[in-house]
Amino acid sequence: MIGDKEIRTIAGSFQAQGRCIDCMPYGHGHIHQTYLARFQTDHGVRDYILQQINSAVFRDPPAMMENILLVTSHIRQKLEAIGCQDIARQVLTVVPDATGMPYYLDERGRFWRMYVFVEDSMAVEMPQDCRQVYQAAMAFGRFDAVLADLPAARLHQTIPAFHDGRARLSQLMEVLRSDPLNRAIQAKPEIDFILGHSRILLEPSELLNAGAIRPQATHNDTKVNNVLLDRKTGQGLCVIDLDTVMEGVWLYDLGDILRTTCSVAAEDEQDLTKVQICMDRYKAAVKGFIEGSQGRIGPDQYRYISLSGQFMALIMATRFLTDFIAGDRYFKISRPSQNLDRCRCQCRLVASMLQQAEQIDAVIASAV
């Protein structure tokens, strides 16, 4: 546990304005330890986001921060070119440490980073209505469109094979063979479901290899809480959590916003009868993302929209299950079997998508 004095000293190692007066835990992220750092300046209190980077997940923090600097600089240049007057609220600003590096390495070998806090913004864990779904989806579609001309080959692979369905299946099979905590018996229906629908996990890579979809720089973690909304207008403002921005395909980004918004149930809901697709939300997500993409996704690509949601829900089910069997090493948990519950929700979501395929196709047609 990091003490107050130590965390304030770490915050003070960055080139933030003023003197650090407080640091408190902030947000609900699964991976990093995040704090709201408050600094006293001559003009009042200014806030920053301070994070201890989870180097067990992101094995090369300097490479990850190099990606983030490249992406944020690219976006900032695009905003400047169109005369945007609110750039500081529409793209993250990395605060360097005292030596000018985009991260701070403390004496214990821990990596830290700092961002300027985006004022008058909010993130929602669960969207309250279709408008929030639409705004978040549009922000991600716009994000991908802005990065379309950034050579994806310049980006480091911060998590190799992140959305590689074949690799995720192999990881699941490997941990099932060892079953270190004898947990597989608790998850037999989920194991059977994932293996029985494994074809879905292979389709995006086959489409990519066939040239049916094109690679580009994508976000790859488009949960609704990774978009900051304007607190006053509710409009999508700034895409955050850029750790996994690397080469991908638009299917990943649309699919993840679909899986995290088209059901009103929480990601770890234990009552699976609540895990239902809301067609109005599904339509709002598709419409927002396609409009945000500014024509980058053409009619010839629309046939893959339904696959995007199925794929991302199933690959997350696979990851949650793998982590549960392995002993909850990757995703943070607050109670026993939480990762198994997360897996069950994703399996239920895939099943619902497949059962309502005709209705979903009609919704997609009306949205695009």
**Residue-range domain boundaries for the chain:** 4-119, 130-367
User: What CATH number matches the domain at 4-119, 3.40.50.300, 3.40.190.10, 3.30.200.20, 3.50.50.60?
Assistant: 3.30.200.20
Please name the residues in contact with 17: beta carbons below 8 A apart, sequence gap of 6 or more: 39, 41, 46
SS3 211: coil
**Can you say whether the dihedral through the CA atoms of 210, 217, 241, 328 is positive or negative?**
positive
In 175-198, which positions are buried (b, 16+ CB within 10 angstroms) versus exposed (e)? bbeeeeeebbeebeebbebbeebb
pLDDT, one tens digit per residue, over 107-121 is: 999 999 999 999 999
**pLDDT at residue 331 in the model:** 87
SS3 114: strand
CA distance 191 to 195: 6
**pLDDT at residue 1 in the model:** 64
Helices (H), 116-247: 130-146, 165-178, 188-196, 198-209
**pLDDT at residue 330 in the model:** 85
CA distance 354 to 2: 46
CA distance 219 to 216: 10
| Pair 307, 200: CB distance under 8 Å | yes
**CATH code, 130-367:** 3.90.1200.10
**pLDDT at residue 289 in the model:** 97
Which helix (H) or strand (E) segment is 78 a member of?
Answer: helix 61-81
Amino acid at 265: A
pLDDT, one tens digit per residue, over 145-174 is: 999 999 999 999 999 999 999 999 999 999
Q: Which two tokens stand for residue 30?
A: 């699964």
Which helix (H) or strand (E) segment is 101 a member of?
Answer: none
SS3 125: coil
CA distance 281 to 188: 31
pTM: 0.94
Long-range contacts of 94-98 (CB under 8 A, 24+ apart): 94/65, 94/68, 94/69, 95/14, 95/15, 95/16, 95/48, 96/14, 96/15, 97/13, 97/14, 97/15, 98/13, 98/14, 98/15
Q: Which two tokens stand for residue 275?
A: 């895990």
**pLDDT at residue 27 in the model:** 81
**pLDDT per position in the chain (368 positions), as tens?**
688 889 999 999 999 999 999 999 998 776 888 999 999 999 999 999 999 999 988 999 999 999 999 999 999 999 999 999 899 999 999 999 999 999 999 999 999 999 999 999 999 988 999 999 999 999 999 999 999 999 999 999 999 999 999 999 999 999 999 999 999 999 999 999 999 999 999 999 999 999 999 999 999 999 999 999 999 999 999 999 999 999 999 999 999 999 999 998 999 999 999 999 999 999 999 999 999 999 899 899 999 999 999 999 999 999 999 999 999 988 889 999 999 999 999 999 999 999 999 999 999 999 88
